[in-house]
Amino acid sequence: MEHTELLVDYSRAQFALTALYHWIFVPLTLGLTFIIAVMETIYFKTEDDKYKTITKFWMGLLAINFAIGLATGIIMEFEFGTNWSNYSWIVGDIFGAPLAIEGLMAFFMESTFFAVMFFGWDKVSKKAHLTSTWLVAIGSNLSALWILIANGWMQHPVGMTFNPDSARNEMDNFWEVIFNPNAVSKFLHTISSGYVLASLFVISISAWYLLKKRDTAFAKKSIVIAASFGLISSILMLSTGDESAHQVALNQPMKLAAMEGLYKGEDRAGIVAFGLLESEKEIGDEKDPFKFMFEIPGALSFLGYHDINAFVPGIDDLILGNKEHNILSVKEKMVIGKKAVTALSDYKKYKKSGNTEEMNRALEIFKANNHYMGYGYIKNPEDALPDVALTFYSFHIMVGAGSWFLVLFILVLYFSMKNEIANKTWLLRLGVVTLPLGYVAQECGWIVAEVGRQPWAIQDLLPVGMATSNVATTSVMITFWLFAILFTTLLIAEIKIMLTQIKMGPEGH
């Protein structure tokens, strides 16, 4: 069943819209829950009521953020069915499991203890309350774990075989799915980036109070906790980012090439520190891909393969093939893939008519060509190329911003320790304005991960064009716009409420 391009585009747009909105709220929840748990732990140990006020204030902001994150999350789960129904069948046997486990292990934990955290101050003991707060933090991060196992599997499918009778992939090794190296590095990178964002959130608001010279004692206490948490998280984020890139190099070479705008593969490939892409550049031509750029030599080979001299294949090599490095062209893979697709339908046909001999022959052909089956659904070789500009710029904004966050945390912590933070107006201003950049970097990270792997819904197995539901394009257009209006309506309310709460401050004035 082939789909029109417009249907695929709208299905992707709707999922991207939901994911981007969802991701405005989730990283803050992932990190802020831990920061709050640390704050409450200090209150529990010191019995200093100031820390109770601090805990309750940040908890109030968390609640405003939490509800809308939850709402957008449920849609994503159901959208796999509503908009990606072929996908749901073809890989549901593997993909459904982590989603169900997430519900059972994480959602109930979050929602049960969330109620205690907010309404239980006078109903349960201090210790039980503190435990609940920690369980909310653990629960929300567990939820991220299972979702990222699912996402990591899409980037690097493992632990399954294709069953020609049911015409789907079936799980044969649960442990491989869970301990998929791609999923592990993705999980650690994602949660640590969430902690960084939450730290920026607390720093930004505290810095604003300090600039306004109000609630200074509260702000100073908050900012120290956030900067310390942010510094540790940044280091974790940068090191897991390195591992993520290594995983991309191993399993998604096209994404790596797009991230760096690398067309002609080379040994000792460099990383572009900054540069402007040439928009006229086509696959296989001799044009320079960059209008200008500044490169760090050997860095990409090192990042991708942990070897400064390693060969990094470029877009031209991956699409047109490179005999020297044993890389098949997309065209060759398409021929193999089409053989598998045809053999599978022959297998079905002969099975139905009871022709065992032909059926077994078709099965043999299928098995011999099945590894590139996904390419059998690709129409043109250039369709295997993701949007280079979007991937390249998103990647560079993310890395640049991430490096700046580390510097910011060091500076804020340094001046807080010297008790000079309140006078460093320039730093406080930087602290306030960095928060939007934090959100931009978060979204960029997902753009790199998801746009960079196009056209694949499941890497090399299932292109998005084959994965969508068989519904009318107009239906998806209608729901896309309805979602866009609804999310925006709710986001406006969320931001306005949040800002008002911040202005009211911890004492509620």
Q: Which of residues 344-363 bind another protein (CB under 8 A)?
A: 344-345, 348, 352
CB of 169 to another protein, least distance (A): 9
Question: What is the radius of gyration, based on Cα positions, of the chain?
Answer: 25
Q: Is 481 in the site for another protein (CB under 8 A)?
A: no
- Chain positions 203 to 242 lying near another protein, rule: CB under 8 A, are none
Q: Which of 92, 289, 431, 438 binds another protein (CB under 8 A)?
A: 92
Rounded Cα–Cα distance for residues 264 and 313 (Å): 7
Which residue, 468, 406, 425, 476, is CA-closest to 241? Answer: 406
- Single-letter amino acid code for the residue at 217: A
CB of 65 to another protein, least distance (A): 9
Using CB under 8 A as the binding criterion, the count of chain residues that bind another protein stands at 88
Q: Which of 10, 15, 58, 84 binds another protein (CB under 8 A)?
A: 84
Q: Is 77 in the site for another protein (CB under 8 A)?
A: yes
> Residue 85 or residue 239: which is nearer to another protein going by CB?
85
> Residue 346 or residue 460: which is nearer to another protein going by CB?
346
Rounded Cα–Cα distance for residues 80 and 98 (Å): 13
HSE (side-chain half, CA atoms, 13 Å) at 437: 18
Cβ atoms of 470 and 44 closer than 8 Å: no
Q: Is 280 helix (H, G, I), strand (E, B) or coil?
A: coil
Q: Is 44 in the site for another protein (CB under 8 A)?
A: no
Q: Is 482 in the site for another protein (CB under 8 A)?
A: yes
> Residue 90 or residue 248: which is nearer to another protein going by CB?
90
CB of 443 to another protein, least distance (A): 20
CB of 83 to another protein, least distance (A): 7
- Chain positions 412 to 471 lying near another protein, rule: CB under 8 A, are 469-471
Stretch that binds another protein, among 29-37, 62-70, 394-402, 416-424 (CB under 8 A): 62-70
Tokens of residue 375, six digits: 């390419």
Cβ atoms of 247 and 185 closer than 8 Å: yes
Q: Is 63 in the site for another protein (CB under 8 A)?
A: yes
Q: Is 505 in the site for another protein (CB under 8 A)?
A: no
Q: Is 462 helix (H, G, I), strand (E, B) or coil?
A: strand
Rounded Cα–Cα distance for residues 156 and 460 (Å): 9
Stretch that binds another protein, among 208-216, 250-258, 412-420, 479-487 (CB under 8 A): 479-487
> Residue 96 or residue 298: which is nearer to another protein going by CB?
96
CB of 508 to another protein, least distance (A): 8
Q: Is 198 in the site for another protein (CB under 8 A)?
A: no
- Chain positions 378 to 397 lying near another protein, rule: CB under 8 A, are none
> Residue 100 or residue 407: which is nearer to another protein going by CB?
100
Q: Is 485 in the site for another protein (CB under 8 A)?
A: no
- DSSP strand pairing (462-463 vs 160-163): unpaired
> Residue 114 or residue 409: which is nearer to another protein going by CB?
114
CB-based burial, 416-430: b 16+ in 10 Å, e otherwise: beeeebbebeebbeb
- Chain positions 95 to 124 lying near another protein, rule: CB under 8 A, are 95-97, 99-105, 107-116, 118-124
Q: Is 294 in the site for another protein (CB under 8 A)?
A: no
Instruction: For residue 254, give every residue at least 6 positions away whose Cβ sits within 8 Å of its Cβ, in sequence order, or none.
Output: 315, 318, 384, 385, 386, 452, 453
The crossing angle, in degrees rounded to 10, of helices 49-83 and 85-102 is: 150
CB of 225 to another protein, least distance (A): 21
Q: Which of 29, 55, 88, 155 binds another protein (CB under 8 A)?
A: 88
CB of 446 to another protein, least distance (A): 20
- DSSP strand pairing (271-277 vs 456-458): unpaired
> Residue 41 or residue 475: which is nearer to another protein going by CB?
475
Backbone angles phi, psi at 100, to 5 degrees: -65, -40
Binding mask 152-191 for another protein (x = CB under 8 A): -----------x--xxx-xxx-x-----------------
> Residue 345 or residue 356: which is nearer to another protein going by CB?
345
> Residue 15 or residue 66: which is nearer to another protein going by CB?
66
Which residue, 82, 91, 86, is CA-closest to 15? Answer: 82
Q: Is 134 in the site for another protein (CB under 8 A)?
A: no
> Residue 216 or residue 475: which is nearer to another protein going by CB?
475
Rounded Cα–Cα distance for residues 40 and 34 (Å): 10
> Residue 389 or residue 484: which is nearer to another protein going by CB?
484
Rounded Cα–Cα distance for residues 399 and 402 (Å): 5
Rounded Cα–Cα distance for residues 484 and 75 (Å): 13
Q: Contacts for 297-301 with beta carbons within 8 Å, 24 or more apart?
A: 297/268, 297/270, 298/268, 298/269, 298/270, 299/270, 299/271, 300/256, 300/260, 300/262, 300/269, 300/270, 300/271, 301/267, 301/268, 301/269
